[in-house]
Amino acid sequence: MFKISNTIKVENTADEVWDLISSPGHLNLFHPFCKENNVLESKNTVIVKDQLIYLNGLTYYRSFTEWHPGLGYGLKIGSKNAKESEVKWQIIENQDLTCVKISVKPYVSTKIPRLLYPFFHYFLIRPKLKSYLSSVLNGLRYYLIHKKEVKPNQFGKHSWFTQT
């Protein structure tokens, strides 16, 4: 019900996109709000758990729940011992272009009254997450084109993840 998605088109193949997004520490290369991305656990070439430290010091842990080589993966993300949001990365190959889609099903905060949550979701959470996903996907596209690491806040600052 409260899922937010964003998609970009890139001229790279699905294999090139997969090689990037499945590599250890991949967020260090293209995530504009990432200070550090460290693999905490892996099995063979599959990332099981990693850590994402944002520019403002906020630390999230990602536990990978699905891993489909060449197609994408699913994960849960949240701070230690807290509620988690569900995230899905998908690679969709068309004739000339490849689409990369990120979908987020954010956890429902108990700090917001249940009856007011839809209002908060549509007018605060949804626009902020759309902006966030846009920046991450623009970073991915930038890296795929230029093969250069994305700079912090390269596509604008985000109040949830950058220092003020």
Q: Whole-prediction pTM value?
A: 0.95
Tokens of 121: 């979701």
Round to whole Å and give the CA distance between 108 and 49. Answer: 23
| Half-sphere exposure (Cβ direction) of 136: Cα atoms closer than 13 Å | 23
Tell me the per-residue pLDDT of 13-53, one tens digit each, with 9 for 90 and over.
999 999 999 999 999 999 999 999 999 999 998 999 999 99
Strand partners, 143: none
* Burial of 124 from C-beta contacts in 10 A (0-12 / 13-18 / 19+): exposed
Confidence at residue 83, expressed as pLDDT on a 0 to 100 scale: 94
Q: State pLDDT tens for residues 51-83.
A: 999 999 999 999 999 999 999 999 999 999 999
42 forms bridges with which residues in the sheet? 47
pLDDT tens digits, 81-136: 999 999 999 999 988 899 999 999 999 888 889 899 899 999 999 999 999 999 99
Domains in the chain, CATH or no CATH each? 4-146 (3.30.530.20)
